[in-house]
Amino acid sequence: MPTAYEQLTELVRDANLLHATESLLGWDQEVMMPSGGVAFRGRQLAQLARLGHEMATDRRIVELLAACEGDAALTGDRLSVPAVNVREIRRKYDRRTRLPADLVAEFAKVTSLARHEWAEARKANDFRRFEPHLTKIIELSRERAACYGWPEGGEPWDALSEDFQPGCSAAYVQRVFSPLRPRLVKLVGELMDAPGRPDDSFNHCRLPVEKQEQFVRQVAQCIGFDFSRGRLDRSTHPFCSGTHVHDVRMTTRFHEEKLLDALASTLHESGHAIYEQNLPGRDDDSLIGLPMSDSVSLSIHESQSRLWENQVGRSAAFWHWCQPMLREAFGAEAASYSARRLYEAANVVTPSLIRVEADEATYNLHIMVRFELERALLRGDMTPGDVPGAWNERYRDYLGIDVPDDAHGCLQDIHWSLGAMGYFPTYTLGNLYAAQFFEKASEYLGNLDDQIARGEFGPLREWLTKSIHSHAMRYESEALCEHVTGKPLSADPLMRHLERKLRGVYGLA
Amino acid sequence: MPTAYEQLTELVRDANLLHATESLLGWDQEVMMPSGGVAFRGRQLAQLARLGHEMATDRRIVELLAACEGDAALTGDRLSVPAVNVREIRRKYDRRTRLPADLVAEFAKVTSLARHEWAEARKANDFRRFEPHLTKIIELSRERAACYGWPEGGEPWDALSEDFQPGCSAAYVQRVFSPLRPRLVKLVGELMDAPGRPDDSFNHCRLPVEKQEQFVRQVAQCIGFDFSRGRLDRSTHPFCSGTHVHDVRMTTRFHEEKLLDALASTLHESGHAIYEQNLPGRDDDSLIGLPMSDSVSLSIHESQSRLWENQVGRSAAFWHWCQPMLREAFGAEAASYSARRLYEAANVVTPSLIRVEADEATYNLHIMVRFELERALLRGDMTPGDVPGAWNERYRDYLGIDVPDDAHGCLQDIHWSLGAMGYFPTYTLGNLYAAQFFEKASEYLGNLDDQIARGEFGPLREWLTKSIHSHAMRYESEALCEHVTGKPLSADPLMRHLERKLRGVYGLA
């Protein structure tokens, strides 16, 4: 007779197996599916979601959980593999079963319509068309938050952000973002006033897309993406989708004049993928589908992608290593670009309207605008009708630019229309964690810059696996940060990184 | 309240939706999956099979079936859409529930091991290693056949072949094959004794694989494969996998010296795919997942692939149309080959050892050997130990060649190791149906050869859709043949086709 823990983990693995299938169908839809398949694919995904929900809310799970939680041999050491699995299975089970079915259905209906109306509103550049849908989403989101509940002293935002970053709160985000904003605004101002500009002519260099693809595949392999356990394909929007630790699929996109974008996005997705490929299930199949082979949070996931994209991929050392490879890959077309010119082209800062096109520094200011607005909406301090004005005011204050219309302003992102509230900050938290982890790795590895300049990425990758990937969900994000770096998350490492690098690039050093 | 018929079809559509997902995962495994994913994919497929079986054997189905069967308004006209759906749902439900679970499990275990042992035995060229597994498979197959049962006057083979061709029997196959064999043997003998040989030098022409791929895609599109509702990729073994009518995926393979193989296999898979893409679900989504949007049988499916591969793709008219395209695609490399030389190269006949490499004429003799042996094994007229001797004797009698060893003889095919008994004849039945359908199409369309020579494939494709695809499972294979051609299946059309064409190619006309 299997133990309660064995039965519990078997049920959870089985539910997550179906989830992995759902994820593969999602990948296929974006990357492979012919256009005619779209309606039927929606039905397939809905069926898998329904069956997966039934399995994940099986009443036997809660009975087995109770038995496991009462077993001190299992959960006494709260950082042990079984204890973490039991704790996180409980968290997810409770969360899944806390919403009434009619609220779930209503939310799905409202966001499905809102997603469509958001796209139409953006096309028509007309926020008023989206406003009633946003109003409904905020209303239902507050209801959802009330069902989930939040800790003493918290607020509705906290309850919703739990889906993306367990244990996070608006107050925590505010505490971290507050010192960051003025320092970023000041730095960007300095750079804009600098007498010189980096040489960005490489950004206009036309390179054949086929060769670009070969090149970024080579780079992904060099930094440690394992092609025997994953794929790299093309899609409209780059993404990484981890079916499971042995089959991780990422995508990128190419444009003749945008090798740097293709490279940055490949490094970014490789960072996500390397995390997924090195979770503990890598060496122990029985963990696949359990919390002890799952990622901590979206922000820790983002820290892994941003670290490879920015700390590594936008460093002088990286371009020292990369430039000869680039010459070899593209020949005469790229031969005239020195490592320094490439490094400069990868580090241009320009306040701009669109988040997804923003540079490493200003990106975080885009996030702060969104965080402040969604928090105020959920608290009831602001109504959806106030959004365009509040948005445009902040873009003037933080980024120094005027928003010409809502399509280039508060209608640019899909997230709110999907009902994803509490998601945006994970991007900037990811940037902050990335910088803090990278500082620690440099300290630990000693000569990290030299290693990168020689194309030796193994030690960094192994340090990340040992320090972060191997812990799966053992620690919550903030606890992991303290465990790895010895300090709570702070704006200092990111600001040190940006100030040192960008002042150098802009001739202010 | 939905009617019994509405409830029934909803349950069946739901079960088949999961089956479509299973099929997509199978495609992905062959075409896209990184090697590391194999073990986990096995688990995913097993889970879907288990859930699908649960849904397809839901007790509600049998209750709803009884209600529908008793409703004359629904099933009174036995060729109406609801009547066909009810009849075929009943057939499948009964078949699924007729085997005891322990026999299903035992058969899965035995064939899983047998498949592995067959591969090892073939590698070692040692039939004795496979023999005990084949013995066990025959034993279990006879047990399965006894559970399924067969009509009065039938035999175990009939019960098993039902999976591949509902309503088929060994006696029927024997009746069709009997006149075919001596005529084929005679024709092949004539060709081998002919003074000249067709010019097959094109079969040694080396052409770049990338260009081959572009070329066969163009041909697939010309004959009517709809790329907005399907894909063509590469895989080790070409196949077509219909997830559903709006997403049909086929594969082919390429080799520098084998454009004709790549083209024939693309035409073949396109024939399967065009069938799948034009089932009635094409115009009525509510039929997807029901018998009235499913194919009749493997042999009718094969008739569609063989018709495009052989009747069209190996005709003089086709090469008249294709030759200028080939010149354009490959330039100087192909320019010296006239339509006549290409046509000859596509129609070389050579008795050979390996079924999958056989030509259009001798292929059917390979099938007869297999049919006679599996029938005798299931009747108990032969033991597995007799197989190599009986195999080799027939290859001498039918094909006039000596089998040097079992790897090139009775160990060459995977089918029996998978427990697929009653499958092989569908290939030759497909060839026979193809010829009989094509004769009828020529009669109906009048100038079919001229149309093909002009690259006008629409009329033929539409005739196939109207005559065959649109009926889905309305008629059993033989009844469909009579409905379409006005005659029972006969060896005459295939023999007329082969004799006329091949005597011409071999200068015997």
The complex's ipTM works out to 0.92
Considering only CB atoms, which chain A residues are within 8 Å of B231? 32, 34
Q: Which two tokens stand for residue A204?
A: 């206009």
> Half-sphere exposure of residue A88, counting CA atoms within 13 Å on the CB side?
27
A294 in helix, strand or coil?
coil
State whether B25 and A20 contact (CB < 8 Å).
no
Question: How far, rounded to the nearest angstrom, does the alpha carbon of residue A157 sit from its chain's CA centroid?
Answer: 18
Asked if B410 and B354 touch (Cβ cutoff 8 Å), the reply is no
Q: At B347, give phi and psi (nearest 5°).
A: -130, 35
Which among A21, A35, A288 has CB closest to B48?
A21
State whether A228 and B35 contact (CB < 8 Å).
yes
Q: What is the per-residue DSSP string for A339-398?
A: HHHHHHHTT-----S-GGG--TTTHHHHHHHHHHHHHHHHHTSS-GGGHHHHHHHHIIII
Selected residue of B21, B226, B241 to mutate for chain A interface (largest A Cβ count, 10 A): B21
Provide the number of CB pairs (under 8 Å) joining chain A to chain B.
93
CA–CA distance, A23 with A40 (Å, rounded to integer): 16
In A32-149, where does DSSP find H-type helix?
A: 38-56, 59-69, 72-75, 81-98, 101-124, 127-148
**What own/partner pairs with CB < 8 Å and gap ≥ 24 does B440-446 have?**
B440/B467, B440/B484, B440/B485, B440/B486, B441/B467
Q: What Rg, from alpha-carbon coordinates, does chain A have? A: 23
pLDDT at A243: 80
Q: How many CB atoms lie within 10 A of CB A192?
A: 13
Spatial CB neighbours of A296, under 8 Å, sequence gap ≥ 6: A166, A471, A472, A473, A475, A476, A477, A480
Q: What Rg, from alpha-carbon coordinates, does chain B have? A: 23
Name the residue in chain A with its Cα closest to that of B49.
Answer: A18
Asked if B210 and B234 touch (Cβ cutoff 8 Å), the reply is no
State whether A36 and B247 contact (CB < 8 Å).
yes
State whether B21 and A21 contact (CB < 8 Å).
yes
Per-residue pLDDT of B218-227, as tens digits, reads 999 999 999 9
A288 inside 8 A of chain B by CB: yes
- In 3D space, the residue among A170, A111, A51, A117 whose CA is nearest the CA of residue A422 turns out to be A170
Active site residue B269: yes
Q: How many CB atoms lie within 10 A of CB A35?
A: 10
The label of the residue with tokens 């001798």 reads: B362
Name the residue in chain B with its Cα closest to that of A28.
Answer: B28
B233 in helix, strand or coil?
strand
Asked if A397 and A273 touch (Cβ cutoff 8 Å), the reply is no
The label of the residue with tokens 């770096």 reads: A485
**DSSP structure class, residue A469:** G
First to last CA, chain B: 68
Instruction: Please state the three-class secondary structure of A125-191 as a single string.
Output: CCHHHHHHHHHHHHHHHHHHHHHHCCCCCCCHHHHHHCCCCCCCCHHHHHHHHHHHHHHHHHHHHHH
Side-by-side strand order, sheet with B240-244: B230-234, B247-252, B240-244
Name the residue in chain A with its Cα closest to that of B36.
Answer: A229
**DSSP structure class, residue B197:** -
| Banded pLDDT at B103 (limits 50, 70, 90) | very high
β-sheet bridge partners, residue A252: A234
Report B:341-400 residues touching A (Cβ under 8 A). Answer: none
**What own/partner pairs with CB < 8 Å and gap ≥ 24 does A102-111 have?**
A103/A140, A103/A143, A103/A144, A103/A147, A106/A140, A107/A140, A107/A144, A107/A419, A110/A136, A110/A137, A110/A140, A110/A419, A111/A137, A111/A417, A111/A418, A111/A419
The label of the residue with tokens 């649109």 reads: B470
- In 3D space, the residue among B192, B220, B209, B207 whose CA is nearest the CA of residue B337 turns out to be B207
Instruction: Please state the three-class secondary structure of B243-304 as a single string.
Output: EECCEEEEEECCCCCCHHHHHHHHHHHHHHHHHHHCCHHHCCHHHCCCHHHCCCCHHHHHHH
State whether B226 and A40 contact (CB < 8 Å).
no
Side-by-side strand order, sheet with A240-244: A230-234, A247-252, A240-244
State whether A14 and B246 contact (CB < 8 Å).
no
Asked if B336 and B355 touch (Cβ cutoff 8 Å), the reply is no
Asked if B250 and B228 touch (Cβ cutoff 8 Å), the reply is no
Considering only CB atoms, which chain B residues are within 8 Å of A20? 40, 44
State whether A32 and B231 contact (CB < 8 Å).
yes
- In 3D space, the residue among A4, A99, A246, A466 whose CA is nearest the CA of residue B33 turns out to be A246
Asked if A409 and A403 touch (Cβ cutoff 8 Å), the reply is yes
State whether B229 and A285 contact (CB < 8 Å).
no
Per-residue pLDDT of A69-110, as tens digits, reads 999 999 999 999 999 999 999 999 999 999 998 999 899 999
CA distance A234 to chain B (A): 13
First to last CA, chain A: 69
Report A:308-327 residues touching B (Cβ under 8 A). Answer: none
Considering only CB atoms, which chain B residues are within 8 Å of A229? 34-37
State whether B246 and A18 contact (CB < 8 Å).
no
Selected residue of A51, A246, A278 to mutate for chain B interface (largest B Cβ count, 10 A): A246
B228 inside 8 A of chain A by CB: yes
Considering only CB atoms, which chain B residues are within 8 Å of A24? 25, 28, 44
CA–CA distance, B186 with B495 (Å, rounded to integer): 11
Q: How many CB atoms lie within 10 A of CB A399?
A: 22
**DSSP structure class, residue B311:** I
- Return per-residue pLDDT of chain A as tens, 509 residues: 999 999 999 999 999 999 999 999 999 999 999 999 988 998 999 999 999 999 999 999 999 999 999 999 999 999 999 999 999 999 999 999 999 989 998 999 999 899 999 999 999 999 999 999 999 999 999 999 999 999 999 999 999 999 999 999 999 999 999 999 999 999 999 999 998 899 999 988 999 999 999 999 999 999 999 999 999 999 989 999 978 999 999 999 999 999 999 999 999 999 999 999 999 999 999 999 999 999 999 999 999 999 999 999 999 999 999 999 999 999 888 888 999 999 999 999 999 999 999 999 999 999 999 999 999 999 999 999 999 999 999 999 999 999 999 999 999 999 999 999 999 999 999 999 999 999 999 999 999 999 999 999 999 999 999 999 999 999 999 999 999 999 999 999 999 999 999 999 999 97
CA–CA distance, A80 with A76 (Å, rounded to integer): 8
Angle at the Cα of A25 (from A24 to A29), degrees rounded to 5? Answer: 120
Per-residue pLDDT of A239-258, as tens digits, reads 999 789 999 999 999 999 99
Which among B28, B246, B285 has CB closest to A37?
B246
State whether A34 and B243 contact (CB < 8 Å).
no
Active-site hit among B22, B88, B162, B269: B269
CA–CA distance, A222 with B184 (Å, rounded to integer): 59
Which range is least confidently modeled, A252-261, A485-494, B178-187, B236-245? B236-245
A283 inside 8 A of chain B by CB: no
Residue B509 has pLDDT above 80, yes or no: no
Pairing of strands B247-252, B240-244: antiparallel
Asked if B134 and B384 touch (Cβ cutoff 8 Å), the reply is yes
Name the residue in chain B with its Cα closest to that of A282.
Answer: B36
Active-site hit among A22, A162, A269, A439: A269
User: What percent of chain B stands above pLDDT 70?
Assistant: 100
- In 3D space, the residue among B465, B477, B474, B499 whose CA is nearest the CA of residue B426 turns out to be B477
CA–CA distance, A433 with A439 (Å, rounded to integer): 10
A41 inside 8 A of chain B by CB: yes
State whether B33 and A244 contact (CB < 8 Å).
no
The size of chain A, in residues, is 509
Residue B39 has pLDDT above 90, yes or no: no
Asked if A292 and A473 touch (Cβ cutoff 8 Å), the reply is yes
Report B:187-226 residues touching A (Cβ under 8 A). Answer: 226
State whether B44 and A230 contact (CB < 8 Å).
no
CA–CA distance, B422 with B367 (Å, rounded to integer): 11
pTM, full prediction: 0.93
The type of residue at A480 is L
A125 inside 8 A of chain B by CB: no
The label of the residue with tokens 């999602």 reads: A26
pLDDT at A15: 96
CA–CA distance, B406 with A199 (Å, rounded to integer): 70
